[in-house]
């Protein structure tokens, strides 16, 4: 007998994600929003029913990627149309927010544009497109409405998950587009976050990375420290991380929590951008280099093994050789476990783009190379110092080579060992035997084998 009902034909959804972890979270949530409409994820845009580019506007290069990718996707849309099919193209994320109108002008193949606080409206935008109501632009700033409208269930499969707790930025660093693309600082209610985290834990998630453009400005009751303490009580949740933090929002309660709460991992991404007070002031960072160094001291007093990570910009308008040297000096004092460094990119509409003394490309290149050499050296040193130590590793997935599993140390270093995939989801002590700048290798520690 034929089945009474047939499962609806799966529509194919392709999402490409650029930019920061908040975009990664948003892409997952977009898939959650679209699943009830019959969309299932596919890993190629070729032949997809819906293509979403979740874009980043932070530097010029990131923005340009959107347009070049759209050129390629348009060809696929034409090919599908020629074969009698249809493809809908949507641009989401920060480029959508910043230059929605321009996207639709430059690339008419785009059906609609949806900003980072509006993607809960995807079903409506798709319906409008299908009813040929023309191109649409959704660029609201109401983060609260979005979170209320998202489905409570998340389709996670891994042992680690991102969880957005805070959005937006009120800091207005003079180089940065984020306050304009993501809107004002907004903190989700504690109850909503706990409910989402419990759902994740029930699906096997063991590590949460709390996300926010200014995550340590989290303004729920008792701040981020209070939130971390509550999350740590959820059965199954063994590790908590958070990113990105602003030095101005690193309060005593959060520093103290690092000394007290085992679940809070000893890794902190704390961007400083520059080591020069004049540059920091021109960037409107709201802190001096010395303030940052003292902050790092206090954090390390609470948690002596804290691994630090940072972001740097070289060639900010007016940056002199001497000022750049001050950045190197700060790096030597902190000794980062890892870091991201960028050439200053003038962003339309930001105050710094109009400053005199824009630094030439060759000078930026040279400074970036010198800074990265130093950062790389420290990263290698940090990893090499782990050899001979036994570290608790949360195993996340099978490795590329057969028989290999990969996890992360408390300091966020990838750790590869030869062992059974049964370790995935466990926290197992690993004796580190070898290190490179990018990762560690080791073997299950002897005492752990005795237990196993």
Which stretch in 18-26, 28-36, 242-250, 421-429 sits in contact with ligand F3S by CB under 6 A? 18-26
Determine the residue with CB nearest ligand F3S: 19
435: its two tokens: 């290190």
57 belongs to the binding site for ligand SF4 (CB under 6 A):
no
Q: Which of residues 187-246 bind ligand SF4 (CB under 6 A)?
A: 213-214, 246
> How near is the Cβ of 14 to ligand SAH at its closest, in Å?
26
Integer CA distances (angstroms), 436 to 167, 353, 369, 418, in order: 35, 39, 20, 17
Smaller CB separation from ligand F3S, 19 or 223: 19
Residues 11/37, Cβ–Cβ less than 8 Å: yes
186 belongs to the binding site for ligand SAH (CB under 6 A):
no
To which residue do tokens 């994600």 refer? 17
Residue 342 contacts which entry, ligand F3S, ligand SF4, ligand SAH, none (Cβ below 5-8 A, type-dependent): ligand SAH
Smaller CB separation from ligand F3S, 58 or 257: 58
Residue 29 contacts which entry, ligand SF4, ligand SAH, ligand F3S, none (Cβ below 5-8 A, type-dependent): none
- What is the distance in angstroms between the CA of the first residue and the CA of the last residue of the chain? 50
Q: Which of residues 190-249 bind ligand F3S (CB under 6 A)?
A: 213
**In 3-state terms, what secondary structure has residue 161?**
strand
Smaller CB separation from ligand SAH, 90 or 339: 339
Residue 53 contacts which entry, ligand SAH, ligand SF4, ligand F3S, none (Cβ below 5-8 A, type-dependent): none
122 belongs to the binding site for ligand SAH (CB under 6 A):
no
Element of type H or E holding 211:
strand 207-211
Rounded Cα–Cα distance for residues 38 and 72 (Å) = 25
Of residues 173, 255, 270, 289, which one binds ligand SF4 by CB under 6 A? 173
> How near is the Cβ of 346 to ligand SF4 at its closest, in Å?
15
Q: Rg of the chain over CA atoms, in angstroms?
A: 23
Element of type H or E holding 106:
helix 93-106
The half-sphere exposure of 282 on its side-chain side, counting CA atoms within 13 A, is 21
Residues 237/206, Cβ–Cβ less than 8 Å: yes
62: its two tokens: 């990131």
The neighbour count for residue 87, using CB atoms within 10 Å, is: 23
**In 3-state terms, what secondary structure has residue 32?**
helix
Rounded Cα–Cα distance for residues 7 and 41 (Å) = 16
Of residues 112, 218, 342, 411, which one binds ligand SAH by CB under 6 A? 342
Integer CA distances (angstroms), 331 to 95, 99, 276, 302, 343, in order: 32, 36, 12, 21, 16
To which residue do tokens 């580190």 refer? 432
286 belongs to the binding site for ligand SF4 (CB under 6 A):
no
Residue 209 contacts which entry, ligand SAH, ligand F3S, ligand SF4, none (Cβ below 5-8 A, type-dependent): none
Q: Who contacts 100 (Cβ-Cβ below 8 Å, separation ≥6)?
A: 91, 113, 115, 137, 139
Integer CA distances (angstroms), 16 to 107, 167, 446, in order: 17, 21, 43
58 belongs to the binding site for ligand SAH (CB under 6 A):
yes
Residue 347 contacts which entry, ligand F3S, ligand SF4, ligand SAH, none (Cβ below 5-8 A, type-dependent): ligand SAH
58 belongs to the binding site for ligand F3S (CB under 6 A):
yes
Task: Mark 67-96 with x for binding to ligand F3S (rule: CB under 6 A) and - for no binding.
Answer: --------------------------xx--
57 belongs to the binding site for ligand SAH (CB under 6 A):
no
Residue 408 contacts which entry, ligand SF4, ligand SAH, ligand F3S, none (Cβ below 5-8 A, type-dependent): none
**In 3-state terms, what secondary structure has residue 311?**
strand
Residue 179 contacts which entry, ligand SAH, ligand F3S, ligand SF4, none (Cβ below 5-8 A, type-dependent): ligand SF4
Element of type H or E holding 12:
strand 11-17
CA angle 118, 311, 58 (to 5 degrees): 35
9: its two tokens: 């034909």
Smaller CB separation from ligand SAH, 128 or 248: 248
169 belongs to the binding site for ligand SF4 (CB under 6 A):
yes
56 belongs to the binding site for ligand F3S (CB under 6 A):
yes
Residues engaged in binding ligand F3S (CB under 6 A): 19-20, 22-23, 56-58, 93-94, 177-178, 181-182, 213
Footprint of ligand SAH (CB under 6 A): 58-59, 175-176, 178, 213, 244, 246, 271, 273, 311, 313, 342, 344-345, 347
Residues near ligand SF4 (CB under 6 A) are: 169, 171-173, 176, 178-179, 213-214, 246
């Amino acid at each position: 007998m034929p089945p009474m009902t047939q499962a609806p034909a799966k529509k194919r959804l392709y999402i490409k994600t650029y930019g920061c972890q908040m975009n990664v979270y948003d892409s997952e949530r977009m898939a959650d929003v679209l699943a009830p409409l019959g969309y299932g994820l596919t890993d190629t845009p070729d032949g997809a029913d819906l293509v979403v580019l979740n874009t980043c506007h932070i530097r010029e290069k990131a923005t340009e990627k959107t347009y070049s990718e759209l050129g390629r996707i348009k060809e696929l849309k034409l090919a599908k149309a020629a074969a009698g099919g249809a493809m809908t193209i949507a641009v989401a994320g920060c480029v959508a927010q910043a230059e929605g109108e321009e996207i639709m002008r430059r690339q008419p193949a785009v059906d609609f544009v949806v900003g980072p606080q509006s993607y809960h409206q995807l079903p409506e935008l798709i319906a409008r497109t299908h009813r040929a109501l023309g191109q649409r632009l959704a660029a609201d700033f109401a983060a609260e409405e979005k979170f209320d409208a998202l489905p409570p269930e998340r389709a996670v499969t891994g042992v680690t998950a991102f969880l957005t707790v805070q959005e937006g930025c009120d800091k207005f660093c003079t180089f940065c587009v984020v306050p304009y693309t993501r809107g004002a600082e907004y903190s989700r209610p504690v109850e909503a976050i706990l409910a989402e985290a419990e759902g994740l834990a029930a699906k096997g998630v063991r590590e949460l990375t709390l996300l926010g453009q200014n995550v340590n400005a989290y303004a729920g009751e008792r701040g981020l420290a209070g939130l971390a303490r509550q999350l740590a009580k959820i059965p199954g949740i063994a590790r908590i991380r958070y990113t990105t933090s602003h030095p101005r929002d690193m309060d005593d309660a959060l520093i103290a929590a690092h000394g007290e709460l085992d679940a809070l991992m000893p890794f902190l991404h704390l961007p400083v951008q520059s080591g020069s007070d004049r540059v920091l002031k021109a960037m409107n960072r709201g802190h001096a280099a010395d303030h940052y160094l003292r902050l790092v001291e206090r954090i390390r007093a609470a948690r002596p093994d804290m691994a630090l990570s940072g972001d740097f910009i070289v060639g900010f308008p007016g940056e002199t050789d001497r000022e750049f040297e001050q950045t190197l000096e700060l790096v030597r004092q902190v000794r980062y476990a890892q870091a991201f460094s960028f050439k200053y990119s003038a962003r339309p509409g930001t105050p710094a783009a109009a400053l005199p003394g824009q630094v030439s490309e060759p000078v930026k290149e040279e400074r970036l190379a010198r800074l990265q050499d130093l950062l790389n050296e420290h990263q290698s040193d940090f990893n090499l110092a782990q050899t001979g130590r036994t570290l608790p590793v949360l195993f996340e997935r099978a490795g590329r080579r057969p028989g290999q599993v990969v996890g992360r140390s408390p300091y966020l270093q990838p750790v590869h060992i030869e062992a059974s995939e049964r370790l995935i989801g466990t926290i197992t002590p690993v004796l580190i035997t070898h290190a490179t700048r990018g990762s560690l290798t080791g073997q299950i520690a002897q005492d752990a084998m005795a237990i196993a």
